[in-house]
Amino acid sequence: MATSRDQALIPQLFRLEYTKMTAVLCRHFGLENIAVAEDLVSETFLKATEVWALNGLPENPTAWLYTVAKNKTRDYLKRNAVFETQVKREVKPEEREPDWDFNEESITDSQLAMIFAVCNPGNSTEAQICLALQILCGFSIEEIADAFLSKKETIKKRLFRAKNVLRQDNFQIRTLQETVITSRLDAVLKTLYLLFNEGYFSKSNSQLIRRELCSEAIRLTLILTENAWTNVPKTNALLALMCFQSSRLDARAGDSGETILYERQDKSLWSQELIDKGNYYLVNACSGTEISKYHLEAGIAYWHSTPTDQHKWQHILQLYNQLILIEYSPITALNRTFAFAKVYGNEKGIQEAEKLNLRDSSGYYALLGYLYTDTAADKAIDLYQKAIDLTKSLPEKKTLRSAMEKLDQQKSDDDEY
C-alpha cells in the first residue's frame, strides 16, 4: 500500500514529467494530434495513481511512467482506426513502429520544439502564455485562471482557440529550421519573460510570489541556452535577469504574505548561488554587440543584487533611462522614478512622478505615498489608500496597510511627544 507521502509524489512527478512526455509524443504524432498526446499522458498518470495506491511506489517512478506511456502509445497506434487510415499513409514504413524513447536528448529536443510551437505568432500574447502554462508547465485550467484572474470557462475557450491555431499550423515539431527559430525567438523570449514576471509578482489575488512559475520559466530558458541556434546574447541576458531576480525571492515576502520592500529585505536570505549564476549568464550575454531590453533589465537586477556599491542607484537610473527609450511601459516609468528619487531626493522624485499622471495605477499612488512619507504623513496615508482601492492583490493591500499603520503610529508618537 502507498503511504500518504508516496501519494504526494504523484502531483510532483506530474508537474515535472507531464510536459516532457507530452512534448515527446507530440514530436511523433504531430501538433494536429496534441489532444491525443495529452490524453495518453493523462491516462499514464491515472494508472500510476491506481497502481501505486495498491502496490506502493516502484523502484524508479519516472522510468515506470515512461514505460507505461510507451506501451499505451504502442497500443493506441495498433488499435486506432484513425491512425491506420489517416496517419499511416503519410508515415514511411520504417517509421510505423517508432521507438518511443524518453531519453534525455529526445526530451530536450522535443521540449525545445514545443516551446517554439506554443509561441505561435498567430495567437495573442495571453493565449501563448496560457498554452505555455498548460503544455510546457503542466498547469491545470484552475491554476491558469487564477494566474490571469479569469473564469475557468474563459481560459478553456482561450486554450481551445489557441490549440486550433496550433493544429492548423504547418510547424514541424520533429525538426527545427533555423529560419523558424529566428522568426519566433522574440515571441518565445517574451512569453518566458512574462511567465517569469507572473511568478515574480503575481497578479493573483492570493499570492505575491508563485515560485513554480519562476522555476518553470528558468527551466525553459535554460533549454534555449543549450541549443546552438537559441544560445544567443539576448537569451543569456533573459536567463541572467531571472537568476538575479530569483536570488531575492526568499526575502521578498513576509510570513503573512506581505511584500517586503527592497530596502528592508534581509540580505542574508539572498541566494549567492543564483547571483553567481546571474553573473555567469550576464557575461555570456555581453559576447555580441546587441543590447536588448533583457540586457538592460539584467543590468538593473545585477545592481540590485550588489548592496555595497554606493553609486549603484546612479547606475540603475542610467540603465532605466536607456530601457524606457527601448520599450516604454508604466511600470518601467514608475521604477525609473523610484531610482531617480534615490539619486536626486524625494522632493524631485515627487515632481518626476507627478509628470507621469498614471491615475489608474495602484503603483503610481504607492510610489507617491512612499515619497511623501517623511514630509507629509497625512498626504502619504491618503495616497496609500488610493493605491489600496486600485489593486486587486491581497499581498499588496497588506503591504500598503502596513505602511499606513506605521505612519499612524508615528503620528501618535509625535503627538504624545
Please report which confidence band the pLDDT of residue 95 belongs to, taking 50, 70 and 90 as the band edges.
Answer: very low
Q: Is residue 404 part of a domain?
A: no
Question: So what's the pLDDT on residue 81?
Answer: 52
Distance of alpha carbon 372 from alpha carbon 353, whole angstroms: 11
pLDDT band per the 50, 70, 90 thresholds, residue 93: very low
**257 domain residue, yes or no:** no
- CB neighbours of residue 171 within 10 Å: 17
**Residue 385, domain member (yes or no):** no
Share of the chain above pLDDT 90, in %: 37
Q: CA 248, 250, 254 angle in degrees (round to 5)? A: 120
CA angle 233, 236, 237 (to 5 degrees): 85
Q: Which tens digit of pLDDT belongs to each residue from 108-167? A: 778 888 888 888 888 888 888 888 888 887 777 887 887 676 788 999 999 999 988 888
Question: 19 lies in a domain?
Answer: yes
User: CB neighbours (10 Å) of residue 373?
Assistant: 19
C-alpha cell at 81: 482506426
Q: Does residue 331 carry a pLDDT above 70? A: yes
309-325: average pLDDT: 93
Residue 255 lies in a domain: no
Grid coordinates belonging to 233: 546574447
The stretch 387-397 carries a mean pLDDT of 88
Question: Per residue in 219-254, is it b (16+ CB within 10 Å) or e — as a string?
Answer: ebbebbeebeebebbbbbbbbbbbbbbbbbbebbbe
Domain hosting residue 66, numbered range: 1-102
Is residue 205 assigned to a domain? no
Q: Report the chain's mean pLDDT, rounded to a whole number.
A: 84
Number of domains in the chain: 1
Residue 90 covered by a domain: yes
- The residue-averaged pLDDT of 84-111 equals 59
For residue 278, pLDDT beyond 90: yes
Residue 92 pLDDT grade (very low, low, confident, very high; cuts 50, 70, 90): very low
pLDDT of residue 149: 65
Give the pLDDT confidence score for residue 84 in this predicted structure. 56
Burial (CB < 10 A; 0-12, 13-18, 19+), residue 46, is: exposed
Q: Over range 83-104, report the average pLDDT.
A: 53
Residues 6 or more apart whose CB falls under 8 angstroms from that of 135 comprise: 19, 22, 23, 34, 114, 118
- Nearest 5°: phi and psi at 253? -130, 140
Is residue 290 situated within a structural domain? no
Q: Which residue has better confidence, 399 or 241?
A: 241
Better-scored residue on pLDDT, 274 or 414? 274
Report, as an integer, the average pLDDT of 224-247.
95
Indicate if the pLDDT at residue 97 is higher than 50: no
Average pLDDT, integer, range 23-28: 80
Which of 8-22, 249-263, 383-397 shows the highest mean pLDDT? 383-397
